[in-house]
Structure 1
Amino acid sequence: MVFDTVEELASFYANYGKKMGFGVSKRSSRKSLEDEEKRYATISCHRAGKSQSKTKNSLNPRPITKTDCGARVNVKRGINNKWYVSKVQLEHNHPFGPSKGRFYRCNRVINSRVRRQLEIFQRVGVRMNKGFNTFVVENKGYENIPITEKDCRNYIDKVKRLKFGEGDAEAIQSYFMKVQSTDQNFFYSWELDDENRLKSLFWADARCREAYEEFGDVVTFDTTYLTNKYHMPMAPFVGVNHHGQSVLLGCGLVSNEDTMSFIWLFRTWLTYMSGRAPAAIITDQDQAMKKAIEVVFPATRHRHKRYKLVKYKLKKAVYDTLTSNEFQTAWNEMLEKYHLKNNRWLKDLYVERQCWVPCFVKDIFWGQAEKENVEEFNSYNSWYPPITRYAMEEQLKAVFTNAKFREFLNELTGKMYCGISSSKLEDGYLEYEVIEDIEVDGKIKKKSFSVWFKKADYVEECDVKCICRLFEFRGMLCRHALTVLVGNNIYSVPTRYILKRWRKDVKRRHTKVKKIAKGVPVDLIVGHGS
């Protein structure tokens, strides 16, 4: 058989499954090696795969549904963009029956007529159980209805999220128009559903755009911040300023945390930012968000925040390894020692290790957060007394913000625990072995770090890099690199290692832009009891 789209195949197989009495799901799709277009897809029985119990209480287990069923249809894309069935497996390893087919999620679809009727019931105050009984009578029995009462309740809950209260939409639009009259660079956009109800909302001012020009290399996006009174998650885009603090780069509200909603929000934000995608983006481990990032920001490095949840026993494997090979060895030893080889969560984390393990992501800058104005004041009105004789301390104290100078001091004083063990010449670089005394569980242990150094006639042309990659990861020269610089009689830091991002003597354009006007309808955007 031949299909125009994968969705057409999924619909065909779902109808077959409904008659036979099983559900279906889209299990996988793969891209060709030559291009980014999808070339292969599989529609399988809903019981494909193996169930993993997620309950923490073994005495109160949750039911499982997967039986590793092999029934499926495989298709591949032809040169005419048609989808050709390449393999069919009809045998199931579980019982099923025609009377059960209507209960599977893939068959429970609320059509437009039923949606309109449900919304009428909701507006006039008809209780859900009575409204649903109307459908039962109209269709002469439950067996003739492709939905359940719970599906109807879920739909109405979604409608409530999409619908503003009386006057709310007008209040937001009026406010945004007022701001736009005083700030021509203020931007807002919203997305409506098929019934012209608010689905998603985005806004940003000129300050956001200017801040993105300077601090848009790494962006954090998080929908767990708070929700408004309509239970719409607030989704701020956040960058990192020269104090290592958070700075707002735009904000949105989304009614559904699905891939299409995130795609709309990301594209809208990208449009306001003149189409310049960030070099890196940090999110939680949400699959819908991940798919949207792949569509809108295909060249952006994506890193998860979920690594912070790793327990103490995993820290050595995750944080004390400098290379991928070291991580691989430590990870395998940890799985073996604690009998975690079959842990599904750890397996999923390992598959995406390039997104969260430090030794895989340290080749690109990632930032952190606090409050900007106070640190701006502190950087110009306070300073640190000298603690060393090195010229680099005075050099960076004069240009770094206080927060970043404190980080540099931490590395400079940490140099006292480091010493050069050996060196060798390789490919024009001197490779040094720097030994650092590190405290582990109250005991001092020695750890080796490789540092590569190329000397030049002028200090500014010197090149130094360490295997710990603190500079690439945090924008700060590490104690191991400083040890090698001082060991080569270099007492000032080459300007290439003094990032503009951390300087207090740079005029920041976003700080000159007036903040958003007072009078924000806070109860609409933030809500109550959030």
Structure 2
Amino acid sequence: MESHGEGSSDFSVQWTDGWSTDSTDDDEGSAARSLETEEVQSAAGDREDGSVAGDEGSMPVPTGIHVAADTEYGDEELGSAVLTTAALESAEYNSVEEVYKAYVAFAKATGFAVRKGDSVKNEEGNIVRKFFYCNRQGLREKKHYERVDRKRAHKAETRTNCYAKYVVYLDMSSRKWRTKTFIVDHNHDLAPPDFTNVMAPHRKLTDGDKAHIHSMHEAGFQTTQIMGFFAHLCGGYRNVNFIRKDLYNYMDDVRQSRIVEGDAVAAISYLKGKTEMDPLAVVKYSYCAEKHLGNLFWSDGHMQYDYECFGDVLAFDSTYKKNLYNRPLVIFSGTNHHRQTIMFGFGLLEDEKIPSYKWLLGYFLEVMQSKEPKVVVTDGDESMKEAIRSEFPNATHRLCSWHLARNALQKIKDSDFCAAFKTAVYGYFDVKEFEDYWAEVVRSFGLEDNDWIASTYEKKEQWAHAYLCDKFCAGLRTTSRCEGINSSLKKFIKSGNCLLELVENLDRVVKDYRNNEFIADYKSLYTDPVLTTGLESLERSASKLYTREIFFEVKKQIESVGGMIVLHKDRFGSTEKFMLRKFRKPHRVHAVLYDRGSDKFECSCKLWNTVGIPCGHIFCVLKELDVEELPDRLVLKRWRKNAKSDRISTIEVQSDPDRAIRVRYGALWAACSKMCFLGAQGSETYKEVVNVVTKTSNELESMCYIGNKGGQAHPAGNDIDIGNPHIIRSKGASRGSTHVKNGRRCRRNQFPGRGEATAVAGKGAGIHSICNNANQCGVVGNEVKVIMFTAHLERHLVLFDRDFAEFFA
């Protein structure tokens, strides 16, 4: 339809390229196009009734289309109206953006998508005409079909040279935009309503979607789970305004935008930025070759406070496949007064050699105010062992009993021996009894000449209870707490995570563990256990002093008093000696010493020494002495409810603007859930809620400015000049060596490659997609013979080795 141009002024034509390529043809280049003039001759002629005729074989468009209310595509009046072709032709608009929204709404309801076209400017440089096309307008350029250097398969055809378009001009008298040309017919099938959401131009992640995605991502949901949640929320995947690929692309864009200065710089900047809210937070790092990141250590104020309270026993272990660079991640952990796992810091090492571990432990000791742990539990790595000996000379190095048991099964491969070995590890022997038992086990299984048995025996002081029974280990005999942390990390962390994602996700894991402590504190402080033992006064006293978890362990010892027998007692000055045994176990007699002057107890079972709680033998003596309340000397400070109360934490918690937004978003989401539920019960209530929400959203949109909330970049500080770490090879066999034997091969000729559409001849080959384009091919020995004809019918014979060792052309 031609312009209603009475109010239009003369202007000189100046074309501005507003062309945007189809998202599915982005590597093919823009399609061939012809710029429009005032007289549209190539598309169609004007009919007598004023409508525009299209191609003979094109499909008709429905004359009346109802467009549901949608804040995405236009005003409330437009969204709730019945949009017809006649209404679109006669419509007036205040801006080009309004035109675009109206045409997009029409296209979505009709079954096609819109591409913005060119613009025409007047002499003053103002746009006076704008073109909008069907997204299938134009054709893919022929050169893209003839490329010989192609590395990817052709993308699906989306261009059909469709002539449907909508052209508007600016009426200078009214300053309104009016319809100039409107061709409604298409030369291709229109998509049914179910498919319109799949079209790229109609797919979009709204700001609300993005906020929800970020909240779920931070809660540990994987991207595929987030997509499933949106599908469930919208009543099916086809009702979601985006597809899985859009979600993955968005998450990747966010990820890349946050590490624009480099991954290592972003991660270190993030860790240094935490000092604004936590002045005790520390980050240390070193350089390796060419100023790339070497080793990295970080710990916040809460971790240092926990180490001050519970740093008597330290466990640390390294794990791979937790980051993009395959760097070993070291987790420093311990146990709190609830016997829960706590973390003291993290390290990311360049390698697992002695210098790296020394660097890490040295800075760990510096940050922790030179406080050495009394016991260190590791998996037995020799580099760790040497570093511990150097940096923690006064600490007892205990080997993880779980790793020992696993090694025993791998080396000896005898389940009976493994059972006997566990008895040697955990058994309540004295030194002589252990030596006799070990000698008997070695002899009975014929392992006198076994190298692993000999080397393990040399380390007996690091794993046998007989040698460790006087060392306080807080019940920590394995690195299983580190393993438990590793298991929790799987919820948040993948092997493809960059450093920034790694440190952020570790923060989330730490918060999860701290919440466990928070809940345990509440249960211990504000609830009371039911008293069930016969020694009610002692049990009540213990319940008021110990945390709940430790109380249950103490209660087991109180319950065992009923099976204790006092054989006799002796007195030596202020010290009394009690000899006890369990009922029907005459072979095991224990001695308890009690000093009245210092109110000190000591038992030969060593439970107090290793775990820090009074044993059943001591409770039996308390019963004999008619003691009603548990003496303070028998309540270890680290197991008390107030284990942390007398230590002053200097941690300052300041407000985090991004976190405040997320908290408010979550609160609003919860507040609106009831409204959404009630509104969905009927069509009338649904319309009412939609109208209220649309109106309120429009009002709020004018009040708020929402910038890019996709993820805040972490700018590099002036003092940070460091490159990303090198990717290293982890210990053990390569995963690929056991799972992929021959690799992917072409379906036609079975030579290595990614399939017939992408198989490449070899290094330096100038012929692309050999199998796909081959006219004749055959296999002779280890060579593949391919005969090809180019576009000019020139015959080429290509020979290349099947293993790509040689290439000839």
Q: Does the 8 A contact of 2:566 with 2:580 survive in 1?
A: yes
Alpha-carbon separation, structure 1, partners of 2:616 and 2:364: 39
Matches within 5 A, 1:483-522: 483-508=620-645, 509=647, 513=651
SS of alignment partner, residue 264 of structure 2? helix
Contact 2:377 2:397 in 1 (8 A): yes
* Residue 212 of structure 1: aligned partner: 307
CA distance in 2, matches of 1:175, 1:383: 43
- What CA distance in whole angstroms lies between the structure 2 residues aligned with 1:336 and 1:520? 66
1:388 lines up with 2:533 in the alignment: yes
Query: Equivalents in 2 of 1:427, 1:353: separation in Å?
Result: 38
- Whichever structure has more strand as a proportion of its residues is 1
Structure 1 residues 307 and 206, CA, compared in 2 at 3 Å: closer, same or farther?
Answer: same
2 CA distance for matches of 1:512 and 1:246? Answer: 22
Q: Out of 437, 454, 458, which is 1:347 matched to?
A: 454
Amino acid at match of 1:376: D
Q: Which amino acid aligns with 1:325?
A: K
Residue matched to 1:449: 589
CA drift at 1:377: 2.1
Specify whether residues 520 and 240 from structure 1 end up closer, same or farther in structure 2 by C-alpha distance, changes over 3 A only. Answer: farther
- Indicate if the aligned counterparts of 2:574 and 2:595 stay in contact, CA closer than 8 A: no
Instruction: Please state whether the residue corresponding to 1:195 is helix, strand or coil.
Output: helix
Structure-1 separation of matches of 2:403 and 2:574 = 39
Conserved in 2, the CA contact under 8 Å of 1:317 and 1:334? no
Offset of residue 273 of structure 1:
0.9
Counterpart Cα distance in 1 of 2:465 and 2:436: 15
Answer with 302-311 or 175-184: which moved more: 302-311
The answer as to 2:549 corresponding to 1:410 is no
Partner of 1:27: none
Cα offsets for 1:333-368 (capped at 9, x unmatched): 111111122222222221111111112112121134
Work out whether 1:249 is the aligned partner of 2:344.
yes
CA RMSD of aligned residues (A): 3.1
Which residue does the alignment assign to 1:329? 436
When residues 463 and 451 of structure 1 are mapped into structure 2, their CA distance, relative to the original with a 3 A threshold, is farther
What one-letter code is carried by the residue in structure 1 that aligns with 2:581?
I
2:518 pairs with 373, 380, 383, which one?
373
What TM-score does the superposition give when structure 1 sets the normalisation length?
A: 0.61
Q: 1:427 to 1:303 in 2, by over 3 A?
A: farther
CA distance 1:224–1:345, shift in 2 (3 Å): farther
Q: Percent identity?
A: 27
Structure 1: distance between partners of 2:551 and 2:633: 16
CA distance in 2, matches of 1:520, 1:231: 25
Equivalent of residue 335 in structure 2, options 214, 221, 240: 240
- Aligned CA distance change for structure 1 residues 514 and 303 (closer, same or farther; 3 Å): farther
Letter paired with 1:340: L
Say if 1:241 and 1:247, in contact at 8 Å, map to a contact too.
yes
TM (norm. structure 2) is: 0.41
Change (3 A) 1:520 1:447: farther
Name the residue aligned to 1:482.
619
Cα contact 1:278–1:300 (8 A) shared by 2: yes
How far 1:267 moved relative to its partner? 0.3
Q: CA deviation at 1:225?
A: 7.5
C-alpha spacing 1:340/1:166, structure 2 compared with 1 (3 Å):
farther
Inter-partner Cα distance in structure 2 for 1:478 and 1:168: 53
Q: 2:387 aligns with which of 267, 292, 310?
A: 292
- 1:422 and 2:559 aligned: no
Q: Which residue of 1 aligns with 2:609?
A: 472
| Equivalence map 1:119-138=2 (5 Å) | none
For residues 510 and 353 of structure 1, what CA distance do their matches in structure 2 show? 40
Q: Structure 1 stretch 334-343 or stretch 427-436: which is displaced more?
A: 427-436
Contact 1:449 1:480 in 2 (8 A): no
2:528 counterpart letter in structure 1:
W
Q: Give the alignment partner of residue 169 of structure 1, picking from 248, 255, 264.
A: 264
The whole-number CA distance in structure 2 between the counterparts of 1:333 and 1:293 is 33
Q: 1:286 to 1:409 in 2, by over 3 A?
A: same
1:430 and 1:456 mapped to 2: Cα distance? 8
Confirm or deny that 1:179 pairs with 2:274: yes
Partners of 1:365 and 1:214 lie apart in 2 by: 15
Q: CA 1:304/1:426 → structure 2, altered by over 3 Å: closer, same or farther?
A: farther
Return the offset for 1:422.
3.2
8 A Cα contact 2:561 2:617, kept in partner:
yes
Task: Indicate conservation of the 8 Å contact 2:567/2:580, yes or no.
Answer: yes
Whether 1:357 and 2:464 are equivalent positions in the alignment is yes
Contact map agreement 1:436 1:447 (CA 8 A) in 2:
no
CA offset digits 1:439-497 (Å, max 9, x no partner): xxxxx75541322323426xxx3222112111110111111121122123233322111
Structure 2 unaligned segments of length 5 or more: list them: 1-258, 406-417, 482-512, 660-710, 714-723, 728-734, 736-809
Q: Distance in 2 between matches of 1:238 and 1:415?
A: 34
User: SS of 1:454's equivalent?
Assistant: strand
Q: Indicate the structure (1 or 2) with the bigger Cα radius of gyration.
A: 2
Deviations 1:116-153 (A, max 9, x none): xxxxxxxxxxxxxxxxxxxxxxxxxxxxxxxxxxxxxx
AA at the equivalent of 2:590: S
- Residues 327, 350 of structure 2: 8 Å contact kept: yes
Amino acid at match of 2:434: F
| Deviation digits for residues 402-456 of structure 1 (CA, Å, limit 9, x no counterpart) | 000000001111222221223445686443332124xxxxxx7554132232342
Q: In 2 relative to 1, CA 255–386 (structure 1 residues): closer, same or farther, beyond 3 Å?
A: same
In the alignment, the residues of structure 1 paired with residue 374 and residue 464 of structure 2 have an alpha-carbon distance, to the nearest angstrom, of 18
Aligned to 1:317: 424
Q: Aligned partners of 2:581, 2:261: CA distance in 1, in Å? A: 68
8 Å Cα contact 1:323-1:359 kept in structure 2: yes
Tell me: CA distance 1:308–1:230, structure 2 relative to 1, closer, same or farther (3 Å).
closer
Q: What count of residue pairs does the alignment treat as equivalent?
A: 354
Structure 1 CA distance, aligned partners of 2:446 and 2:574?
46
How many Å apart are 1:328 and its aligned residue? 0.6
- Contact 2:282-2:299 within 8 A present in 1 as well: yes
Change (3 A) 1:431 1:448: farther
Deviation at 1:217, TM superposition (A): 0.9
Matched residues in 1 for 2:281 and 2:346: separation?
Answer: 12
Match of 1:34 in 2: none
Paired amino acid for 2:467:
F
